Structure 1
Amino acid sequence: MRKLKNSELNRLNIDQFKDTTKIPLIVILDNIRSLNNIGSVFRTSDAFLIKKIYLCGITAKPPHKEIHKTALGATESVDWQYVENTTDLIKDLQSEGIKILSIEQAESSVSLEQFKVVKGETYAVIFGNEVKGVSQEAVNLSDQCLEIPQYGTKHSLNISVSCGIVLWDLFKKIKFKS
């Protein structure tokens, strides 16, 4: 077995990526403080054809060398926008018919593997601050909370890890739903 070279991966260039149909999934970053986490979310969002990323509150915006370090150019491919107030954004998206899913441990949260996507629905997933999580105000406005099942001694995952798990799971459910 031989590892493939980058030239053999048939990756899209930025123009091709921009023209490619995205899945109906939006990412909202609610007060993310780590520039490396922000860059990682961009890179993961590129991998799974995410429609758009919203950066809210204290979440830093590109261009920034620390974001670029982990995004590896994904800030150029993935559509993004800064919106200062997360709750205003949630209300705007809901008025467009978009379902808001907070990724948070909360009363009545649904375990990620149990969540079923609805064909034709657009979802926005909110990832919260590394210490405080998704703000209570955002949770209150959300249509649902999804929780990543965890079976060890820790109670949380790094936001970039959470993003990878959630986006892959939802990508599969949306893209390959019969």
Structure 2
Amino acid sequence: MSNQLSHKEHHSPGLKFPVVLLTDNLMGDANIGSLFRLADAFNIEKLVFCGTPINLNSNRLKKTARATYKTVAYEEWEDPVAAIRKYRQDGYISYGLEITNDSTQIDSIDFSNKEKIILIVGNERHGISPRLLDEVENKVHIRMFGHNSSMNVSQATGIAFYEITKTLPPLREK
């Protein structure tokens, strides 16, 4: 019989992925909380929230994030273009998660030769702003099979993290 493991019984392999997630004007506290959980689950470097300030006092955010908002590294920037330019200067390769006329299916990309990745996700309603999208080096999308052309930003981010981390070599944590 299988028994579910508790948090204390679960042992992390001690791997960290050189991925930063940059958000473009996210508004939903539940989505922000979910991104904290995903960042912890995939052990990425950092969350970068741009535009609307996040509200860490929100009960909805706290409930969704659980305690991860206390342990995941994050920063806030007013201007997402300034943020992406700074990270690109630091050697990060940018990927915007957006369906565009020139986007590539994310599951067809081999990230194994990438050292630092910054993944950009957009606003729940409008996606990545055109101004920021112009700064992004690579546009990627998740292949979808239904009639809708989008999905919830936190669900899409989870899928993207999975696709990236399955081929990206992790860093051994100290």
Superposed pair shares fold, TM > 0.5 = yes
* Equivalent in the alignment of 1:152: 146
**1:169 is aligned to 2:174:** no
CA distance in 1, matches of 2:87, 2:134: 15
Query: What letter matches 1:4 in structure 2?
Result: Q
Q: Which residue, 3, 7, 17 being the options, matches 1:23? A: 17
- What is the identity percentage for the equivalent residue pairs of Structure 1 and Structure 2? 25
CA-based RMSD of the aligned residues comes to 1.9
**1:107 is aligned to 2:101:** yes
* Equivalent in the alignment of 1:85: 79
Query: What letter matches 2:79 in structure 1?
Result: N
CA distance in 2, matches of 1:5, 1:117: 31
What is the TM-score when the length of structure 1 is the normalising length?
A: 0.88
Higher relative contact order (CA 8 A, sep 6+): 2
Q: Shift in Å at residue 61 of structure 1?
A: 4.1
Q: How does 1:1-178 map to 2 (within 5 A)?
A: 1-6=1-6, 9-11=9-11, 22-175=16-169
SS in 1 for 2:124: coil
SS in 1 for 2:143: coil
> Alpha-carbon deviations, 1:87-109, whole Å to 9, x = none?
00011111111111110011210
Unaligned 5+ runs, structure 1: none
Q: Which runs of at least 4 in structure 1 moved beyond 3 Å after TM superposition? A: none
> Alpha-carbon deviations, 1:71-130, whole Å to 9, x = none?
011111210001111000011111111111110011210101111214252000011001
What is the TM-score when the length of structure 2 is the normalising length?
A: 0.90
Equivalent residues of 1:29, 1:59 under 8 A apart? no
Structure with greater helix share of residues: 1
Unaligned 5+ runs, structure 2: none
